[in-house]
Structure 1
């Protein structure tokens, strides 16, 4: 068990932080939602009622889809685009999918390479893009979850104002949906751009996301 924890400490740490922040969001969200209900003449809700409500589901899903979109685009874009001096980028001249020899696929696969890396046809193609495919599917699923939960929450508000509910198509083309969506997307894109640029000039000693502290800013032999 101790070895398992040590070997998977990074993933376990972030999973724990995820669970703690989700629990904190649910508690704070339930309190805020109850305050809104009381202010509107209604009754406060329990924590259990809130975490099973569309209001909580849409708040969670809209954050998930923006995060997965960020990683999906970053994985794909960094194949083709570089940023000189950033450890978040490949070297100049290495843009593109690289050769089979560089990627160790097909006849260049090593004895310990994954089976699908050595395979021909669609299996190699799928495995070669499996990370991007997985992130893209997770984005689409979380986006769909956001749209369904957001529709339910939006229609609850519509009914409380004695207005007609809308269908799924009407909601995903509405200002409410895109306001929720784009406010998350823009923050993710800004965060990625900040990381790419700040990592050129700033350092974090010992971090694989940073160049070595003494590396010259102009050096590109170990970064983009």
Structure 2
């Protein structure tokens, strides 16, 4: 029970992820089979649907946009501030900060991660590990989206007796960028809204909000 309590936030959101992914699979299967029937083709099972390019591209394009959102927020928050937002560092603290501020090397505490104390390349790698992993997942998801998207596009083109072209042509096509940018714009709007609305609005008890009584101009303050 202690482990559940201490990891509750992750468990809740990962459970919601699994439930929504399962719901997407079931809803997508129903839609896919409707299209199969309309085209005079056989319906497929859930396991067959999970291996289709149709399901893969829908999942991958959502994943890549979400990880891009957090990657850009992580990096932008290093250099840019927003007065009054709990999503921002204090005004005047832009940049990567000093080793003392970051508890690196000789300023590390006894419970600091080993690579924060090590110095050299290990500390440099660990200092940028969050953005590196987020960026890697984004690129892999985006690549998976392009592969699955091209496969789905090629199937549609061949069904219409048209040349599907190459993967490279697909990546430069309006089809690919339309799917990509419609996800990106919504993620950027969500981050911008969170950054600015948290300046003036509150949610009591949430670390994503300032204390209810905090001034609108208070920055880098969490409730």
Q: Normalising to structure 2: TM-score of the pair?
A: 0.96
Alignment of 1:4-23 (within 5 A): 4-23=3-22
CA distance in 2, matches of 1:126, 1:221: 26
CA distance in 2, matches of 1:220, 1:64: 30
Instruction: Verify: 1:103 aligned to 2:93, yes or no.
Output: no
| 1:69 alignment counterpart | 68
Shift of residue 216 of structure 1?
1.9
CA distance in 1, matches of 2:156, 2:32: 13
| 1:199 alignment counterpart | 198
Q: For 1:8-58, what per-residue CA distance to the aligned partner results, in whole angstroms no more than 9, with x for missing partners?
A: 110010110000000000010111111122222323222221111010000
Shift of residue 68 of structure 1?
0.3
Shift of residue 119 of structure 1?
1.6
| 2:38 alignment counterpart | 39
Shift of residue 115 of structure 1?
1.3
After superposition, the Cα gap between the structure-2 partners of 1:108 and 1:151, relative to the gap in structure 1 and judged at 3 Å, is: same
CA distance in 1, matches of 2:179, 2:218: 41
- Asked whether the 8 Å contact 2:104–2:119 carries over to 1, the reply is no
Any idea what SS the aligned residue of 1:193 has? helix
- For the aligned residue pairs, the C-alpha RMSD in angstroms reads 1.2
- Which consecutive segments of 4 or more residues in structure 1 shift more than 6 A? none
| 1:91 alignment counterpart | 90
| 1:176 alignment counterpart | 175
- Asked whether the 8 Å contact 2:60–2:144 carries over to 1, the reply is yes
Q: Which runs of 5+ in 1 are unaligned?
A: none
Q: Normalising to structure 1: TM-score of the pair?
A: 0.96
Q: For 1:50-81, what per-residue CA distance to the aligned partner results, in whole angstroms no more than 9, with x for missing partners?
A: 11101000000000000000000000000000
Any idea what SS the aligned residue of 1:91 has? coil
Shift of residue 95 of structure 1?
0.3
Segment of structure 1 superposing worse, 91-100 or 46-55:
46-55
Shift of residue 221 of structure 1?
6.7
* Count, aligned residues: 222
CA distance in 2, matches of 1:63, 1:219: 34
Q: Which runs of 5+ in 2 are unaligned?
A: none
Alignment of 1:131-146 (within 5 A): 131-146=130-145
